Homo-oligomer: A and B are copies of this chain.
Amino acid sequence: MKAGAAIELGRGESNSKGMTSTAARAGVNRGASILDFILRIVAFLGTLVSAIAMGTTRERLPFFTQFLQFRAEYDDLPTFTFFVVANSIVCAYLVFSLALSVFHIIRSNAKKSRIILIFFDTAMLALLTAGASAAAAIVYLAHKGNAKANWFAICQQFNSFCERISGSLIGSFVGVVVFILLILLSAAALSRR
C-alpha cells in the first residue's frame, strides 16, 4: 500500500516537475499492461476460432453403399475432442484473465496478481500446446499415413475434412506464441516494479 502511494505521489510530481524514475517505470509497466491486454484478445480470438473450426468439422462423402455411409466428424478421433476442449478452456480462461489485465493497467505496480497470472498462463500454455501438438500429430498421420504401421492416409478420401482440421490448428499455435510473449511481458513487469 505504501509503495502504491509513493508511486501515486511520484506521478503527481511528474506532471509538474517532469518524470521521476519511479513514475517512468510505472509508465513502462502501464504500456506493457496495455500490450498484455491486446495480446490476450489476440490469443482469445485464435483459440476461439480454432475451437469453432474444429468443432464444426464434418464431411459426408457423396457416395455410399447399402450398409455404410462414409462420413467423417471431428469427434471420430478422441484427440480432436481433446483439442476442442483444451481450446475452449484456454479461451474461457483468457476472458477471465482480461479482468486481471485491466487491473494491471490501472495499478501497474501490482505484484501478487502478476505471479498468479504467470502461474496460470504457464499452465494454460502447457494445456494449449498439448492439445495443438497432439492434434497436429494426428493431422500429419491423416495426411501422410504410415506404411509401417499400416495406417492409411484418410485425407485421400476426406479432402475438405482434412483441410479444415489442418487450418484449425493455426489459431491454436498463434495462441501458444502469444502465451510465451505474455509470460515474458509479465516477468519483465515484475522485475521493473
Contact = CB atoms under 8 A, between A and B. Distances in A.
Interface stretch (A35-43, A57-65, A180-188): A180-188
Contact of A180 (B112, B126, B148): B126
A174 interface: no
Interface stretch (A20-28, A46-54, A137-145): A137-145
A132 B125 CA distance: 14
Nearest to A129: B129
Interface bracket on A: 35 or more
A117 to B, nearest CB: 9
Contacts of A142: 149
Given A184-B118, A187-B119, A150 B149 contact: no
Interface string A130-156: 111111111011100010111110100
5 contacts: A118-B183, A119-B180, A151-B151, A190-B190, A190-B191
